Amino acid sequence: MPELAEVEYYRRRWQPFHGKKILAADGHPRARVFRDADFATLTTGLAGRVFRDSFCHGKQMFLVFSGPLFVRVHLGMTGELLVEKPGYEPGKHDHWTLRLKSATLVFRDPRMFGRVGPASTTDPRLDLPPAVDDPRFTAESVARALARRRAAPLKAVLLDQSLFPGIGNWMADEILWRARLHPARRVADLPPGAPKRLWQETTEVARAALETIAPDWGDLPDDWLMNHRWKDGGICPRPRCHTPLARETIAGRTTCWCPRCQV
């Protein structure tokens, strides 16, 4: 599920436990979610450390433990963070549990496209490009990103995490719909002004999604494409448009757009 705003939503679930001590940590050592990690570092290696802080970068989340130790968490398609009672018994898809005095923190991921780890002792933000909700993500960043992918369809560029960190399938469609650009359109034949428009809509979709979803997973407004994209017979929510939405695979992902608004 998670894109930028949903990842931030899950991060906030664990935020109340900043400053708390990890009594123990455990997990299923063979679980695919640990494929990049040193399992011992994330279990026995955490016992006695304090959960100091956490932050998001696009779709990635980082947990900071005393040391410091930075642990990367990616929620993949179906990952989520939960808070359970002390003594909680992990279920089938609960791959990683942090035991605190007041709660059990659980990483759950049925499909296991997500990952926990690796851990590092240096701040990973130093090596990452600015995410789409970062003030350093500018119209110039977008222009540079587009210049690197001249032959690609717009949808593919928006999904590239090295260029638009945090944008996923539904946000990409929302941005292109608002910018009135067809998702299959090649970067090379964009009209002048398109880069600026893409930057503006990317920034605005990220801001509004965070505002609505991050605190309590609120519903997006009905005039967003998101609320219509999966409905059979879905109609473009732009005022007075009423055009049936199109759905096809573009850049390998199911894509929804308005054939009349987007060219």
Q: Point out which residues pair with 104 in neighbouring strands.
A: 84, 99
At its nearest, how many Å lie between DNA and the CB of residue 217? 10
At its nearest, how many Å lie between DNA and the CB of residue 208? 15
Nearer to DNA, 63 or 226 (CB): 226
- Exactly one of 12, 21, 247, 253 is catalytic; which is it? 253
- Exactly one of 2, 153, 165, 183 is catalytic; which is it? 2
At its nearest, how many Å lie between DNA and the CB of residue 184? 8
3-state secondary structure the chain: CCCHHHHHHHHHHHHHHCCEECCEEEECCCCHHHCCCCHHHHCHHHCCCEEEEEEEECCEEEEEECCCEEEEEECCCCCEEEEECCCCCCCCCEEEEEECCCCEEEEECCCCCCEEEEEECCCHHHHCCCCCCCCCCCHHHHHHHHHHCCCCEHHHHHHCCCCCCCCCHHHHHHHHHHCCCCCCCEHHHCCCCHHHHHHHHHHHHHHHHHHHHHHHCCCCCCCCHHHCCCCCCCECCCCCCCCECEEEEECCEEEEECCCCCC
At its nearest, how many Å lie between DNA and the CB of residue 250? 8
Nearer to DNA, 22 or 109 (CB): 109
Nearer to DNA, 66 or 161 (CB): 161
Nearer to DNA, 99 or 115 (CB): 115
Query: Active site includes 253?
Result: yes
Structure tokens at 102: 């007041």
Query: Active site includes 196?
Result: no
Dihedral, CA of residue 232, residue 235, residue 236 and residue 242, to nearest 10? 160
At its nearest, how many Å lie between DNA and the CB of residue 240? 27
- Exactly one of 11, 59, 108, 178 is catalytic; which is it? 59
Name residue, tokens 């990690």.
37
State the residues that interact with DNA by CB under 7 A.
1-3, 6, 32, 58-59, 74, 76-77, 92-93, 110-113, 148-153, 156, 159, 161, 168-170, 230, 249, 251-254
Query: Active site includes 2?
Result: yes
Nearer to DNA, 103 or 158 (CB): 158
Query: Active site includes 80?
Result: no
Active site residues: 2-3, 59, 253
